[in-house]
Homo-oligomer: A and B are copies of this chain.
Amino acid sequence: MTAVNSSGFPAPAGIYAVPVVLAPLSGRLHVLLVRRVEAPFAGTWVLPGGFMSPSERPEETAQRKLTEKTGVGAVYLEQLETYGDPERDPRGWIPTVAYLALIDAAVLRADESSSRWEPVDALPPLGFDHPRIVVDAVERLRGKLWWSNIAVGLLPERFTMPQARRVFEAISGVTYEPSNFRRELEQSGLVHATGTLAKGGPGRPAAMYEFVERQPAWSLRRSRPPAMLRHRS
């Protein structure tokens, strides 16, 4: 597949938008895959995606493709990187813009035969350069987890501390000490208690929290380069 622009120069045959949809499922971080029907890589698992159109902003394309595949909109959508190596797509020169897309695990619709959630630490073989894209997405999520409110995409609007802890544990792959987890998340300034309690199960009811800001924001904690001078000229 080739393209030429009106000035006679070679143009990309198209631009692909690829949402990397991550969600914690049963304690592990999973990614949404679809089975590819056409060549190349027919029959293998790949990330969902589709061609951008000139009338859409790139995030809109990513959002649309995501909704087509999952039935839900992403709570959090962030551009990851653009992959444009000449040989990455056998069909021709087709750069791909990857997006990190996070959705609350609670709103996922049931699996279908054409799409599947797979744990990111045990992926099946993927077509194109998609294994690398998944790795980049997971790295971005893990890297920002404690330094931003990126988890807003993975938790319901109101949540409890133990619930948040389990999500953080699924993403980072470690087990946190509950009281320290609580202290750190509170000190981050990203969440605040709503005053209500989660009732239902056994045990003391947990307090409900919510994110102060649902737009992308940075944590206040431990972002401390060396101190500035104070009492000197």
Question: A: which residues have CB within 8 A of B?
Answer: 1-7, 9-15, 51-58, 79, 81-82, 84-86, 92-93, 95, 97, 145-146, 172, 174-177, 180-181, 183-184, 222, 224-229
Residues of B within 8 A of A184 (CB): 225-226
Identical chains bound together, number:
2
> Looking at chain A's contact residues, is the secondary structure mostly helix, strand, loop, or mixed?
loop
A176 touches B82 (CB 8 A): no
B11 touches A12 (CB 8 A): yes
A2-B6, A10-B54 known, 15 other contacts, Cβ within 8 Å:
A6-B13, A9-B14, A11-B11, A11-B13, A11-B14, A15-B95, A57-B85, A57-B86, A58-B82, A58-B84, A95-B97, A172-B225, A176-B229, A177-B227, A222-B222
The answer to whether A5 and B14 touch (CB under 8 A), given A86-B54, A226-B176, A229-B175, is yes
B222 touches A58 (CB 8 A): no
Q: Distance in Å from the Cβ of A186 to the closest Cβ of chain B?
A: 11
Tell me which of A2, A172, A228 has the highest count of chain B C-beta atoms within 10 A of its own C-beta. Answer: A228
In the bound complex, CA of A225 to CA of B222 (Å) = 9
Beta-carbon nearest neighbor of A93 in chain B: B54
In the bound complex, CA of A43 to CA of B9 (Å) = 25
Which one of B3, B51, B55, B97 lies within 8 Å of A86 (CB-CB)?
A: B55
The answer to whether A51 and B9 touch (CB under 8 A), given A227-B176, A228-B177, is yes
In the complex, 14 of the A-B residue pairs with CB atoms within 8 angstroms, ordered by the A residue number, are A1-B6, A4-B4, A9-B14, A9-B51, A10-B54, A12-B12, A15-B95, A52-B84, A82-B97, A174-B228, A176-B226, A177-B229, A222-B222, A222-B224
B11 touches A226 (CB 8 A): no
In the bound complex, CA of A175 to CA of B181 (Å) = 33
In the bound complex, CA of A9 to CA of B184 (Å) = 51
Beta-carbon nearest neighbor of A224 in chain B: B222
Which one of B51, B172, B228 lies within 8 Å of A176 (CB-CB)?
A: B228
